[in-house]
């Protein structure tokens, strides 16, 4: 159950969630124009996620507004149900933002809540599962197993190659419009209208190089092949394709990207390696780092603002790669000596 912030009466959970959609309206002195700007200050995906988190809290019996004991008990109970620390952190952030938007003091930063969360992290460990990097050799192997004679194959090949070479997030690449792309002699420049770290719509571009003639995995030529075959002249670049080969009007949705990748990974015999759409982004950053590219040049493509976040994307595929203690020249790789196997 939840408490209506205006009347103090208990409301059904769904009613309280609907109230969340009208957060700015509780500030009576704000004009309608100001409230619209406040509503636009947060992305729709963020609102959707916060709404879902609040629903979990309310259906667990939580009251809104909450106090520190309500929230501390809630996250302890959710941990007992098997929720991961990262999920609990997201719940806390949503509850914190709800109170802030309601112009109420947030209990999330209180000592009881922080102490319970600290105990959960210490007992569970905080290592976050990361998408494995899909490296260049993996990309080429994947593309080799896609049938590019049909429309779906052409779309998927262009989608995967562009996702890698542009270090795109899944939500970014499916939201591309043809009007966002400029063709240049050396490649293309892709403009992003919005991104995870650019909610204000500031100018952000990615330059994608055209590979030499004859290279079968060129992202620019694969994109051009898809556009020529589909007949797309404006609007969404990546669209659905029906079973009969009919092109959809709207843009491709995120879940279809995942399903198509899963299908092609199985075809290529790579299903057991745990790749996700985010593996393209991690793979590009890791591959560029291994080729000695400067961090500032990699971040021009990846769009990272935070150095610490950027460094987490550089996956070590070999524990001895770039070893700080490598003071030797001409080190050989030998079979490891195992003392108990000696005669």
Is the domain of 10 the same as that of 34?
yes
Those residues whose C-beta lies under 8 Å from the C-beta of residue 143, and which sit 6 or more positions away, are: 157, 160, 161, 216, 217
Q: Is residue 219 part of a domain?
A: yes
Q: What CATH number should be reported for the domain holding residue 293?
A: 1.10.443.10
Q: How far is CA 202 from CA 23, 32, 192, 195, 199, in A?
A: 26, 25, 9, 10, 8
**Domain enclosing residue 81, as ranges:** 2-124
Does the pTM surpass 0.85? The reply is no
Last residue in a domain, options 69, 104, 124: 124
Residue 223 placed within a domain: yes
Site of tokens 């961090």: 295
CATH number where 47 lies: 1.10.150.130
Q: Are residues 114 and 149 in the same domain?
A: no
- Within-domain flag for 295: yes
Q: Which of 83, 104, 124 is the last residue of a domain?
A: 124
Looking at the fold, whether 182 and 291 belong to one and the same domain comes out as yes
The number of folded domains in the chain is: 2
Q: What is the pLDDT tens value at each position of the chain, 343 positions in all?
A: 444 444 445 444 444 443 444 444 455 677 778 877 777 777 777 888 889 999 999 999 998 999 999 999 999 999 999 898 889 999 999 999 988 888 889 999 999 999 999 999 888 765 556 778 899 999 999 999 999 999 999 999 999 999 999 999 888 899 899 999 999 989 999 988 765 554 555 567 889 999 999 999 999 999 999 999 999 999 999 999 887 778 888 888 888 999 999 999 999 999 999 999 999 998 998 888 888 888 788 888 887 666 666 666 665 555 556 656 666 665 555 555 555 555 5
SS3 166: coil
User: How far apart are alpha carbons 260 and 215 in whole angstroms?
Assistant: 24
Asked whether residue 151 falls in the same domain as residue 74, the answer is: no
User: How far apart are the C-alpha atoms of 129 and 70, rounded to whole Å?
Assistant: 29
């Amino acid at each position: 159950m939840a408490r209506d912030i205006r009347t103090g009466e208990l409301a059904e959970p769904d009613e309280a969630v609907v109230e969340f959609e009208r957060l700015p309206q509780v500030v009576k002195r704000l004009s309608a124009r100001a409230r619209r700007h406040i509503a636009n200050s947060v992305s729709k995906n963020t609102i959707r996620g916060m709404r879902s988190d609040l629903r979990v809290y309310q259906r667990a019996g939580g009251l809104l507004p909450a106090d520190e004991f309500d929230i501390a008990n809630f996250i302890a109970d959710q941990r007992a149900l098997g929720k991961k620390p990262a999920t609990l952190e997201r719940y806390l952030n949503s509850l914190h933002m709800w109170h802030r938007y309601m112009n109420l003091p947030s209990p999330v930063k209180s000592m009881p809540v922080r102490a319970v969360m600290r105990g959960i992290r210490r007992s569970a460990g905080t290592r976050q599962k990361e998408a494995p990097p899909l490296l260049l050799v993996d990309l080429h192997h994947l593309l080799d197993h896609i049938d590019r004679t049909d429309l779906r194959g052409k779309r998927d090949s262009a989608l995967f190659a562009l996702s890698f070479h542009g270090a795109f997030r899944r939500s970014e690449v499916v939201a591309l419009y043809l009007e966002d792309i400029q063709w240049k002699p050396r490649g293309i420049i892709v403009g992003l209208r919005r991104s995870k770290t650019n909610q204000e719509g500031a100018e952000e571009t990615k330059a994608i190089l055209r590979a030499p003639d004859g290279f079968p995995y060129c992202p620019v030529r694969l994109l051009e092949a898809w556009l020529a075959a589909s007949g797309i002249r404006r609007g969404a670049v990546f669209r659905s394709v029906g079973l009969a080969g009919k092109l959809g009007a709207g843009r491709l949705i995120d879940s279809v990207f995942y399903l198509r990748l899963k299908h092609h990974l199985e075809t290529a015999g790579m299903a057991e390696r745990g790749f996700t759409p985010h593996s393209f982004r991690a793979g590009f950053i890791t591959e560029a780092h291994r080729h000695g590219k400067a961090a500032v040049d990699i971040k021009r493509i990846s769009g990272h603002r935070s150095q610490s976040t950027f460094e987490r994307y550089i996956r070590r595929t070999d524990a001895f790669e770039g070893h700080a203690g490598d003071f030797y020249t001409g080190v050989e790789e030998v079979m490891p000596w195992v003392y108990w196997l000696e005669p």
